[in-house]
A = this chain, B = another copy of it.
């Protein structure tokens, strides 16, 4: 039988939702009450029809000639993304990338709360700045069982990634946000999300060479 792998459609829409949320909060702070799909589209660099389709997913409905209620949209997107209740996470690997995530305001705005970090050399990492404690990697299993987070953020070296993953899975972690280039093997009930900077660079590189060609 095929691996039951939880198809989620409208993935491109889901990817755009945080950007909408960001924009809407900005507008809200400015005191705006409503916004039209064409305005959002303009700010996002996409077509108004795509905005309307995206917002449809949140079940928030606008009013003709006026647009959408910004507050409703914010609530709708937050609800859809499952924010509201914050998501507690461990971060493993406090290198430069790890540190940058520890202090990423955007992620906090989306309800991510990193409650503890782990590193092979905890004394080397300077994390007090964010008020998040950094433990030695050897304490990961124990603390994961005790604190019972369901999400882990993986920023270790690719060679260490699978070992750390196994510890996390054994401790009951259900989601792994994987910033390493390793392809993790996990049981069916654990979700992994791979974040890969290389792929973005590849797209940019291809676009630039294609553009150069077009210009002769």
- A contacts, CB < 8 Å to B: 6, 8, 11, 14-19, 22, 43-45, 80-83, 87, 95-97, 99-101, 103-104, 106-107, 110-112, 150-151, 174-175, 177, 181, 183, 189, 191, 193, 195-211, 214-215
Q: Which residues of B contact A214 (CB under 8 A)?
A: 6
Decide: B201 and A107 in contact? CB cutoff 8 A: yes
Min CB gap A51→B, angstroms: 13
Return the contact of A207 from the options B43, B104, B193 (Cβ within 8 A).
Answer: B193
Q: Which residues of B contact A191 (CB under 8 A)?
A: 204, 207-208, 211
Return the contact of A107 from the options B15, B16, B95, B198 (Cβ within 8 A).
Answer: B198
Min CB gap A159→B, angstroms: 11
Return the contact of A200 from the options B16, B22, B193, B208 (Cβ within 8 A).
Answer: B193
Decide: A198 and B18 in contact? CB cutoff 8 A: yes
Q: Which residues of B contact A43 (CB under 8 A)?
A: 183
Closest-by-CB residue of B relative to A80 is B206
Question: 7 shortest A-B CB distances, which residue pairs?
Answer: A96-B100, A18-B198, A15-B199, A82-B209, A193-B204, A97-B100, A175-B208
Closest-by-CB residue of B relative to A176 is B204
Known contacts A6-B211, A198-B110; A14/B203 CB under 8 A? yes
Q: Which residues of B contact A197 (CB under 8 A)?
A: 101, 104, 106-107, 195
Tell me, in angstroms, the Cα distance from A207 to B10 when the chains sit together: 12
Tell me, in angstroms, the Cα distance from A112 to B174 when the chains sit together: 35
Min CB gap A7→B, angstroms: 10
Min CB gap A26→B, angstroms: 10
Q: Which residues of B contact A82 (CB under 8 A)?
A: 205-206, 208-209
Closest-by-CB residue of B relative to A102 is B96
Known contacts A201-B112, A203-B14; A211/B195 CB under 8 A? no
